[in-house]
Structure 1
Amino acid sequence: MASSSSPARAPNRSQRNNSSFYEYETRPSDLARDRGFFESADGQRAFQPAHNIGVKRRHVNPSDLVDAFGDWVPLPGDAEGELDIEDSLPDADLGDKRKRYLSSFRCTDCGVFVQCLDCVLSRHSLTPLHRVKEWNGTFWVPTTLMKLGLIYQLGHGGHLCCCPAPKTHEMAVMDTEAIHTVQYRYCGCDKADRANNLEQLMRNEWYPATTYSFAKRAKRAGRGHDPTGLDGTVNGECALLCWPCPHDEKNLPKGWQDVAPEFQFLYMLILALDTNFRLKSRLRANERDNPPLGDGWGYIMEEAPYKEHLRNYVAEKDVSTCIAFAALLQKDTRLTTGRRSSMRAARGCAYANMDYILPSTIIGITALYLAVSYDIACQWQINLPKRLESMPDHLKINLVLITLLFALPVWHAGAHEESCQTENLLTYLDGVGRTDGEGIERTWSVLNPISWATKEMGRGAHADAIEDKIDHHNWEKNINQGANDAPVKLILAIDKRDRQVTAFKEVDQTLSKNVRKEWRKKIDDWKADRTKPNPYLIGEGKNNGPSEATIRLALTKDKAEEAATGGGKLHGSSVTSFLVAGLQLEEAQQRIKSHARGRVLLAADQQERIQEMRIAFFSKLKWRCRSQAVYISAAVRELEEEEDARDPDLPPPNAEDVRLYLPSGLQRADHEEGCRPGLPAMEGKLREGQCCDSLRVLHSRLHAKRHLLNYHNESVVGQRAATRAYTLIERIRERVDAVSGKYRRARAALIALRGRAVCEGFRELKASDIQLNEEREVNARAQKRLSKIGSRPCRKGPALSSKDKVFSWIWTAGGGPGEDEAALHDSKEEKLAVRVE
């Protein structure tokens, strides 16, 4: 770069806007270059090495800034008249030739300039849909180009035709801005031999309102590229297929039918069935025959054979064994007087409708497995093979070549019994991944808003409107899946899969080979024969969990044990008795803290109760202090040092704040010299037992809370019952908090005694670990129900998808053998069943 004739110098900071050099701001990223750039007055650029150049910003006074809005504040005095000028003739057009402008025109779409009649007709010969105004001598009035004499020439885009048709026509054209009445003439030259009158209109992009949506659907389906055209269209060919779904000879590799069984799920077709009772239209006695365009070509089946099938249908005996589901109860009784339905159940959810719709949908599809989700699939599938045999020949399905799998959608499954859910839930179906089966409900959310219009339409318009809406929805969905949805879903799926695999391995490592082999056999046997015991369902009696009375009795026993250990005396003088006494005193301190925690003002009886507990604590502590010198000499030394350092003017500490000087509370060096031999190891064993016992009790309390929430979700009615339920649940929560605190204290003491590396089996207990995944969903439903009947609603209710659940480590750590060992085994089996495949 050429340098200036004079050496570069620093800008003069004492002057502003008068210097021949202009200072450039340097960014932090420019500091690595160690260059300062300046520009001289002669236009040449010079640079010189510089070091440690900081960010320099020129100070700008607010008065120097340009106020863009302030320029509009002093409006002209005649600003109010500017709007009036727009509604009048321009001043330049007035004067000696005023009479000429009595026939002046202005086009809203072209601009505000004024045109004469000849100009406006010449200018708009190619744009007959512009909006024109005429000056009547006083103001502008709307007019039309047809009234001015414009005749639009078809076949040439408005240009002149050498042989136009002699007759002109009038037609209403609906544009995006307005509705126009246009006078036009057909082409009669050689181009007319290649396009008839209708084609000339459509090539001018003037489509009949009744056929435009149909032509658009045919275009999306690619019918224009078929040599046979629309005349060769068969039923279903105008329906836009889902691009990611497997389609033979379109997006499947060669030999896909011969892949190994463990990879056949990749080519499974998943369909969702449902009924919609809102998309109906009225039946009228004087209704004209108005058939839809392309009857049966798209999403709605051909009407004549469908009605013939329903006419021959005989109501079968009800075989409902699951629930009193509304669609099942009304499948043969729900009347639709005065309503028409095209492809939806005419009378409730009658099986005959879906029996006909399913084969009509999948006819011509090549697949090894077909998964069908339906909210009453548990009942509909029972005699389906027998009913399919009575279908017309062209709708019969070869069940030897294709395997039909039926399941309940994830959200709708909540209305079914638990035994039905575990047997038919889509989540438990191999190969479906994270599919929830509720995609058709999202389609209803798009279609339902037009139901208020479609119910007033005739048969043809009703079908065409629904077809157009579905086709547009499918088209947008296909486009978005490739551009936006698919990459994001893939990233999320990989991340969630890794989390689930990691969680499964943690659980699997805690199982013995015999247990793993037993559970695997249960699942394989059930998949091969559904009449065998369902491994996803816990045995009878355990499913309902403990009753409310049982839970109350357990809480009462806990309270009685606390009272017994809190007020009784300590006996014995052995090493074990000494350590157990210390642990009991530690528990007494925690109970005192629990009673006094978070309360600023205590009632008189509460204060008295806390004082009694403190007195009982000190009476026990007095006995233990006499034995402390025998077992822990280091504690006596530390106690004397603490007493010497304490301010005599301060009151003595409360019972809950007194140090107990257990071996775990001493320095590591005092474990050998300041304690009786074997005492730290003995406390370590007791602490390990506390950890195991705490986890077992935690399992029991969490299960009790979950079952209690389930019970009250179904039976709580009224404010009184809701308050009682909330009180009982809070008592369980307090017990869970107490047990969790005991585990944390025992774990901390164990780490102090043995070191962190030796205690890896007992992991850190976080708040997110102390919860069943099912409990989070149940708790959300319970809070919602309690808020409806008078309780205060929760601002952030918990919610967790069943596909996002991760197994907490507390269910894999377990505890020592005991009375809850079977319950722990069952809980693990329940959680692991869905992942052991």
Structure 2
Amino acid sequence: MGFDTDWDAPTPVIAEGPAAIKIKKAKRYENSDHPVKAWIPHRDDRLAALMRLEGRGTWWNRGCTQCHEANPTWRCEDCFGGRLLCASCVIEKHRDEPLHLLQEWEDGFFHLRTVRDLGLVYQLGHPPGEPCEWVRLTRAGKDFVVLHNNGIHVIDIEFCGCADAPSEVDQLLNIGWYPATSKEPGTAASLSLLRRFHKLNLQARVPVYDFYNALELLTNGTGLKKPPNRLPQFMTMMREYRHLQMCKRAGRAHHPTGITGTSPGELAIPCRACPHPTINLPEGWENTPPEVAWIYRLLVSEDANFKMKGRDRSSREKDPTLGPGWAYMVANDDYLKHLVKYVHEDEISHCVSFAALWSANNKRAKGLRASGIGSVSCSRHEIFRPLGTGDLQQGEKYSNMDYLFFSSLIGIILLTVVASYDIACQWCRNFWTRAQGMPSIMQLPEHLKIIFKVPKFHLPPHVKKCHGPFSFNYTKGVGRCARVERNWSWLNGAAKSISVMGPGAREDTIDDVCGFSNWKKTVDLGNSLLRKMVLAMPQAVIHSRAFHAFTEGLREGHEEELVKWERMVRAWEADDEHEKDLENPYEYVDVEAETMADVMKRISEEDHERVVNNGAAGLQVNPAAFLLAGIEIEESQEAVILETKRRTLTTIQATALQRQRTLLLGKICKFHDIQGQYMPGLPQWVARQHPPLPARNTAKPETIKIFLPSSVPAADREAVCAPGLVAQEDRLRKAQAEDALRDLRRGLRTRTFAHKFKRQHLSGQGMYTKSRSLLDGIEAGIRVAAGDWERVLQVLRKEDVMGMNERLMNEEEKEDNKKARVLAGLSADGKDDELDIFGELEEPTVLFNLEMGEGTRMLSWIWYTTPQRGTDETGDGSLHPDIRVEWMKARARADRWREELILVEEEMRRVLEFCAWKARWWRERIEARGDLDSAGMSPVLAEGLSAYAREQITREEAWLAAWGAKWEKVRARTQVILRDHLADVTEEVLVPIEVELDDDEEGLSEDNGFEDDD
């Protein structure tokens, strides 16, 4: 299962059977050659064409293209074709084009000119060619500066002075020039420039300083003639433009109270896929039974970002916020009024290993107004919540994070919220007590239930007791959630420029950046939800099959255990708050048998008792130390033998091997010196052996036999060994086997994880080599653990050494694996690759997903038997506790993917309902226009308001139709899969369906329409 990445291959198919989906993909290039490679032979021709444009071109000798006068010397960079004109024609053509860049042919090359050099004065307030008889003389009209896409222009303009003429500001705005000031403006920027920079700043993270410097380079790249500096004015205009665009999109121009009547959070772009009562939820949703009500939960995530620092620049008196609390940032005055009550509060304590993070949060705090920001977004769609973002003064405190969380839920009427936070295990303590200190407007309804969780990315460092209760993987009704850190990766691109802004500009810019992020995700809902469904459909089927196959494989002989497990996990799931002391069904329980350390402890206690009973004479015999020394030597010999099997040894490895042999030989000699005390009959027994035993090879001490009691035939042991020695070795060997089995299980789990991580995250030869080294180390540990102890427990075959979710590759997968190694730069013949580092034939394994035909596979006996503590038995045949945990996890995976399928289908329905509602909302704005007309609104403004509203209606209806058609097939197929409970769907023959995804690296439309002016 997977996406075929070959552009020229047939249409890829996701999975088989009812969940089969074909993805239509466009070819990247029309031919096999890369465009740059095909271009190289033609680059001289391209360069020659560019050089021709430096001259007067092909048709200059035909005269002026307008009046055919001979020897034309003027051309315009912004007019089409760069055709040559005479002086009179260029003046006539550019009377109404004051922002074009002109060139004059003089001294054998073109010189840069402006319309001002031609003596042109631009007339405002009248149609082109209509002079004004009452020109309004102003100081600003002379040397007026206009910032445009092609540079910085200094021109002369004349304002209309007629009796009914609009103000100077309106005259500039009427032609698409935004003035820098409201009184006697002397600088303006074209709306085209503001719109362009707005998109470049949001999408490409181009800072205003760099953009303005680029305008200066476009104006004069030689540096010989510096244009007037209008950077401060440009920053002011851009900030005002951002704010007006937010108000415009929110429909504030259509409301009688205008911008000043904006409600808190009204300028924020909401998540259309989240539940909104009265908008996209069905009637009676609040009365649905519990088994259905979970689809109407709101899932939100809270987190802090300490890269979004804010320096202590300017002041709020000089730099106020244009929209305080109108979008995503909370109103600063109310926020600080609340925080002042907790000024001495410490940071939230952590149960996790976040000491380094805590240090990073608090260092370099000097000179900062804000050490970062906290924010709340919806967990499933990563859209910033209205009024859910605010500055953090120092560190991450309850007072800050509580305020932002409660603020983001103002007015909520849902029944349940699932709140995730990286330290939710601490945050949830005394949560409702702290809630009583929130402002009255933020008090949550009494019926609201909040379930606290920790994001998957942050859960591993938490202490073990947090893993089960706060995991999304084991929580019903959450599907597959996203995480807020992806939002930070978007915001952090603007962090440097935002950090040096004043308080008001900082908040306005964060509002705008958050709004753009929300808008991109809104525009991409058609693709993003389709991607989720394309992934969820086969995963839901596969994991459902996996769980049922797993269960059927365990059912025979273990029915009672399965029933017990089911009751256990149901009780766990019913306890959402996890307040009861219930056993965590997903936690591995250490019920392993007696270890070597346990045996040694008991032997030491017996030695102590012997000394108490026999006095000093009891110290003369210490067989346990002798036996342990022998067992340690055997283990060292196995390790050295394994090391000698390596196919290649570096100089460092060879030196280390020789050092190991020297130490090992010393231990053997010391062992043989005392062996006669405990095995007095050994020399005579060795002398009787026929043929004689081989002589000791001191060059290879790993081959020297040390003769512990178990090395002697059972019939001769009592005659060779001191009394009690054989029994003590039996106890130690039993514990040794159990230790080895435990190490083997641990090694197999580690190998499974390492293979999974390598497959998902590593590519390329360098990363492949590093991961191979890690896997070699893990494999060596597994081989040592699987050493020569088969005779003590069951026979350990090579095929038994498999992880719970591993299996051997089939022939097709082996071929694919060889191809992957070739792509990674490894051996092409594959002969060496089939041998492991110890020269033995390697059977490659893959993660076991229980695909078709694999459902009857049984796990190795090493995962089934549980030896009993303190007995000589190998086990009672019961399932190993790890099997229970894996069964629980398989059940949880099947549930989560099934929930994901249901949730995505519900989210598609919500989005379509939201589009229909939003279209009606804009239509109501048009119907309310009559009230505004009666208030004296001009017909021109009324027409503009109507046109804008109709444009929004058209867009909403287009989304409704396009997304509905895009999702129709997968929604229908989802109903088929859910109808058959994800168990017997293979019995119905369904052909693969085709879905079309836009080909975009980030999954976002390039022309996303964020600017409604487009």
Question: Fold-level match, TM-score > 0.5?
Answer: yes
How far does the alpha carbon of each residue in 1:401-425 deviate from its partner, in whole angstroms, 9 at most, with x for none? 2211111110111221121122212
Alignment of 1:411 onto 2:457: yes
1:371 corresponds in structure 2 to 418
Alignment of 1:235 onto 2:264: yes
CA contact (8 A) 2:741 2:786 kept: no
Change (3 A) 1:329 1:186: same
Q: TM-score, normalised to structure 1's length?
A: 0.59
How far 1:104 moved relative to its partner? 4.5
Alignment of 1:730 onto 2:700: no
How far does the alpha carbon of each residue in 1:688-730 deviate from its partner, in whole angstroms, 9 at most, with x for none? xxxxxxxx99985542326889999xxxxxxxxx999976851
3-state DSSP of counterpart to 2:419 = strand
CA contact (8 A) 1:546 1:704 kept: no
2:284 pairs with one of 235, 252, 255: 255
3-state DSSP of counterpart to 2:582 = coil
2:240 pairs with one of 211, 215, 219: 211
CA contact (8 A) 1:88 1:139 kept: no
1:299 corresponds in structure 2 to 328
Structure-2 separation of matches of 1:202 and 1:371:
47
2:481 pairs with one of 426, 429, 435: 435
How far 1:812 moved relative to its partner? 8.9
3-state DSSP of counterpart to 1:833 = helix
Matched residue type, 1:356: Y
Identity %: 27
Alignment of 1:22-421 (within 5 A): 82=52, 85-86=55-56, 90-91=60-61, 104-110=73-79, 111-135=81-105, 139-154=109-124, 158=128, 160=130, 166-167=136-137, 169=141, 171-186=144-159, 188=162, 192=166, 196-197=170-171, 199-200=173-174, 202=176, 205=191, 208-226=237-255, 228-284=257-313, 289-316=318-345, 320=349, 322-326=351-355, 336-341=365-370, 343-398=390-445, 400-421=446-467
Structure-1 separation of matches of 2:475 and 2:400:
25
How far 1:499 moved relative to its partner? 1.5
Change (3 A) 1:487 1:158: farther
Change (3 A) 1:478 1:80: closer
Bigger shift: residues 367-376 or 328-337: 328-337
How far does the alpha carbon of each residue in 1:28-58 deviate from its partner, in whole angstroms, 9 at most, with x for none? xxxxxxxxxxxxxxxxxxxxxxxxxxxxxxx
1:517 pairs with one of 563, 574, 585: 563
User: Structure 2: which 5+ runs fail to align?
Assistant: 1-37, 178-189, 195-236, 374-389, 601-623, 635-640, 662-737, 755-771, 811-836, 838-843, 869-874, 896-1014
Alignment of 1:829 onto 2:904: no
How far 1:449 moved relative to its partner? 2.1
How far 1:382 moved relative to its partner? 0.5
3-state DSSP of counterpart to 1:249 = coil
Bigger shift: residues 444-453 or 165-174: 165-174
How far 1:216 moved relative to its partner? 2.7
Alignment of 1:543-622 (within 5 A): none
Structure-2 separation of matches of 1:336 and 1:230:
36
Structure-2 separation of matches of 1:454 and 1:75:
42
Change (3 A) 1:88 1:412: same
CA contact (8 A) 2:323 2:508 kept: no
3-state DSSP of counterpart to 1:499 = helix
Change (3 A) 1:334 1:117: same
How far 1:180 moved relative to its partner? 2.4
Alignment of 1:474 onto 2:518: yes
User: Structure 1: which 5+ runs fail to align?
Assistant: 1-66, 564-592, 607-695, 713-721, 748-761, 769-791
Change (3 A) 1:823 1:697: farther
How far does the alpha carbon of each residue in 1:571-594 deviate from its partner, in whole angstroms, 9 at most, with x for none? xxxxxxxxxxxxxxxxxxxxxx99
3-state DSSP of counterpart to 1:237 = coil
CA contact (8 A) 1:744 1:765 kept: no
3-state DSSP of counterpart to 1:115 = coil
How far does the alpha carbon of each residue in 1:591-623 deviate from its partner, in whole angstroms, 9 at most, with x for none? xx999988699999x9xxxxxxxxxxxxxxxxx
Change (3 A) 1:501 1:149: same
Larger radius of gyration: 1
Matched residue type, 1:105: W
Matched residue type, 1:200: N
Q: Report which structure shows greater RCO (CA 8 Å, sep ≥6).
A: 2
Bigger shift: residues 257-266 or 79-88: 79-88
Structure-1 separation of matches of 2:46 and 2:268:
60
3-state DSSP of counterpart to 2:264 = coil
CA contact (8 A) 1:223 1:230 kept: yes
Matched residue type, 1:143: R
Change (3 A) 1:253 1:164: farther
1:489 corresponds in structure 2 to 532
Change (3 A) 1:200 1:595: closer
Alignment of 1:508 onto 2:551: yes
How far 1:358 moved relative to its partner? 0.7
Change (3 A) 1:129 1:232: same
Structure-1 separation of matches of 2:111 and 2:412:
62
Change (3 A) 1:228 1:317: closer
Alignment of 1:446 onto 2:490: yes
3-state DSSP of counterpart to 1:120 = helix
Change (3 A) 1:173 1:415: farther
How far does the alpha carbon of each residue in 1:421-480 deviate from its partner, in whole angstroms, 9 at most, with x for none? 2221222222111114x2x21111111122221222212222222222222121111111
**RMSD, aligned CA:** 5.7
Matched residue type, 1:108: E
Matched residue type, 2:512: D
> What is the number of residues matched between the two proteins?
597
Structure-2 separation of matches of 1:535 and 1:444:
33
Q: TM-score, normalised to structure 2's length?
A: 0.49
Structure-1 separation of matches of 2:529 and 2:50:
56
Structure-2 separation of matches of 1:214 and 1:403:
36
Change (3 A) 1:238 1:108: same
Alignment of 1:605-684 (within 5 A): none
Change (3 A) 1:182 1:265: farther
Structure-2 separation of matches of 1:257 and 1:186:
62
2:747 corresponds in structure 1 to 705
Structure-1 separation of matches of 2:847 and 2:502:
45
Change (3 A) 1:142 1:808: farther
How far 1:256 moved relative to its partner? 1.6
CA contact (8 A) 1:538 1:826 kept: no
CA contact (8 A) 1:544 1:707 kept: no
Structure-2 separation of matches of 1:817 and 1:319:
42
CA contact (8 A) 1:282 1:457 kept: yes
How far 1:176 moved relative to its partner? 2.6
3-state DSSP of counterpart to 1:265 = helix
2:499 corresponds in structure 1 to 455
How far does the alpha carbon of each residue in 1:505-557 deviate from its partner, in whole angstroms, 9 at most, with x for none? 12323244432333333334444252313424547645999899999x9xx99
Structure-2 separation of matches of 1:75 and 1:708:
58
1:532 pairs with one of 577, 581, 603: 581
Matched residue type, 2:55: I
